[in-house]
Amino acid sequence: MTVLQGKTILVTGASSGIGKALCELLVARGAKVFGVTRRPALVPENVTPILADLTQRGQISAIFQNLGNLDALVNCAGVAYLSRIIDGNPADWEEMWRVNVMALSHCCQLSLKHFPASGGRIVNVSSMSGHRVPPTGGFYAPTKFAVRAITDALRAELKSVQSPIQVACVSPGFVDTPLLDQYFRGREQALTQTRAAMKMLEPDDVAWAILTILEAPAHVEIGDILMRSAEQQM
């Protein structure tokens, strides 16, 4: 019997990469998992898909309409275009802002009334690009700085009202997922070089870090995990 046996957990980004890997670990631990996606056919077996486009506020609200009690929310969904401030497409900025920042914040807020009085946990996925801005960070990095600030604000607000709900942020460096194809769009050679230069994190590595937060004893609050490939320079 694991700590997460029978717990109800909502994961956004359940169809791919880190979110998908996490769903598989949670199911193996006996959790009841709901996975938000636009591609329900891709969520792992035994995960209940919830169809929603996170750029649409109405669809975000609908996720929570028929949801009962929640023990944890993990905000994994994200978009990463290399879109510079000097010449990037504002439509890319807007999509990143909507999914990475607005949807994450909205899910945090809407989840609160689904937690039992004893509390629960919210984990937000930021990035090492939310801690320092790489030259290619463009508009993506600011969205990930915002995720950290939102996590800290939410934690402080919950503590100020004596809520036992814990909030954490996980900030990975490069993880080998389809998101990198999006980020390196038009710079495929740079992606090949980056892959050759290091053994990147795998989605499972980050999923395990999230699991560590979710499985910690109730009196232990893990607030932040920063992690990168041992071979990543910064």
Ligand X SMILES: NC(=O)c1ccc[n+]([C@@H]2O[C@H](COP(=O)([O-])OP(=O)(O)OC[C@H]3O[C@@H](n4cnc5c(N)ncnc54)[C@H](OP(=O)(O)O)[C@@H]3O)[C@@H](O)[C@H]2O)c1
Pair 138, 187: CB distance under 8 Å: no
Q: Which stretch binds ligand X (CB under 6 A): 3-11, 12-20, 23-31, 85-93?
A: 12-20
CA–CA dist 197, 185 (Å, integer): 19
CA atoms within 13 A on the CB side of 158: 23
Complex with ligand X: residue 8 or 143, whichever CB lies closer: 143
Compose the 101-140 pattern: x for residues touching ligand X by CB under 6 A, - for all others.
------------------------x-x-------------
Show contacts with ligand X in window 50-69 (CB under 6 A): 52-55
Q: From the CB of 206, what's the least distance to ligand X, in Å? A: 7
Q: Which amino acid is at 142?
A: P
Q: Does residue 47 bind ligand X (CB under 6 A)?
A: no
Binding-site member from 8, 37, 111, 151 for ligand X (CB under 6 A): 37
Bridge partners (DSSP) listed for residue 8:
32
Q: Which stretch binds ligand X (CB under 6 A): 109-117, 177-185, 191-199, 217-225?
A: 177-185
Q: From the CB of 125, what's the least distance to ligand X, in Å? A: 4
Out of 64, 140, 183, 184, the active site residue is: 140
What angle do helix axes 140-160 and 104-111 make, rounded to 10 degrees? Answer: 20
Q: Is 140 a catalytic residue?
A: yes
Residue linked to tokens 């890319």: 92
Complex with ligand X: residue 159 or 195, whichever CB lies closer: 195
Size of the site for ligand X (CB under 6 A): 30
Q: Which stretch binds ligand X (CB under 6 A): 48-56, 83-91, 149-157, 221-229?
A: 48-56
How far is Cα of residue 158 from the mean position of the Cα atoms in its chain? 20
- Of 76, 54, 110, whose CA–CA distance to 206 is shortest? 76
CA–CA dist 230, 213 (Å, integer): 21
Pair 60, 10: CB distance under 8 Å: no
Q: Does residue 174 bind ligand X (CB under 6 A)?
A: yes
- Of 90, 81, 12, whose CA–CA distance to 53 is shortest? 12
Q: From the CB of 6, what's the least distance to ligand X, in Å? A: 25
How far, CA to CA in Å, does 123 sit from each of 108, 206, 223?
9, 12, 9
CA–CA dist 200, 177 (Å, integer): 10
Q: From the CB of 203, what's the least distance to ligand X, in Å? A: 6
Q: From the CB of 132, what's the least distance to ligand X, in Å? A: 13
Q: Give the residues lining the site for ligand X (CB under 6 A).
A: 13, 15-19, 37-39, 42, 52-55, 76-80, 99, 125, 127, 172, 174-175, 177-180, 203
Which residues are designated catalytic? 140
